[in-house]
């Protein structure tokens, strides 16, 4: 079994960050619950439904931003090849401006390669820009950074 260790910097951020949960409003907590459900899902349709039709985001490790359809195609391939389990979701900040919000967080996943049966632990740091449209939240833009130097 191959195992990537959670990078030292991400651990420090996670352990040393101020827990603002006590300071978050009811609306911010509801937004974070939605965010976590989107990040944690292993169902492709549920994942794709988190993206707004006008989404453009710069996912981790990609040379250019992707649209919703491009991200859906990448996610479909990824979900077919792997099983993932969210083992850490650590929101670092939430800023809401009416129907727009920015969330910064660290996420760690246990990833199982279905073919090779290899297990890795992968951490990434994200900034998600969310838009409330028709009473529902969506990702409208994002940027992800791998948590390791690999």
Q: What is the pTM of this model?
A: 0.83
What is the span of the domain harbouring residue 78? Answer: 8-146
Cα three-residue angle 48-90-74, rounded to 5 degrees: 25
Per-residue model confidence as pLDDT tens digits over 70-107? 999 999 999 999 999 999 999 999 999 999 999 999 99
Quote the number of domains for the chain. 1
Per-residue model confidence as pLDDT tens digits over 94-142? 999 999 999 999 999 999 999 999 999 999 999 999 999 999 999 999 9
Question: CA-CA distance, 43 to 28, in Å (whole number)?
Answer: 24
Is 1 within the bounds of a domain? no
**For the chain, what percent of residues have pLDDT higher than 70?**
83
Is 85 within the bounds of a domain? yes
Residue written as tokens 């279905």? 114
What pLDDT band is residue 22 in, cutting at 50, 70 and 90? low
């Amino acid at each position: 079994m191959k195992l990537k260790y959670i990078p030292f910097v991400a651990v420090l951020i996670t352990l040393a960050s101020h827990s603002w949960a006590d300071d978050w409003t009811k609306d911010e907590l509801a937004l974070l619950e939605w965010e976590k459900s989107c990040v944690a899902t292993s169902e492709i349709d549920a994942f794709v439904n988190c993206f707004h039709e006008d989404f453009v985001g710069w996912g981790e490790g990609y040379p250019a931003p992707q649209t919703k359809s491009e991200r859906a195609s990448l996610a479909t391939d990824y979900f077919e090849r792997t099983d993932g389990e969210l083992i850490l979701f650590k929101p670092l900040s939430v800023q809401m401006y009416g129907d727009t919000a920015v969330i910064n967080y660290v996420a760690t996943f246990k990833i199982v390669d279905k073919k090779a049966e290899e297990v890795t632990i992968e951490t990434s740091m994200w900034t998600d820009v969310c838009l409330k449209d028709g009473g529902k939240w969506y990702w409208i833009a994002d940027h992800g950074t791998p948590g390791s130097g690999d």
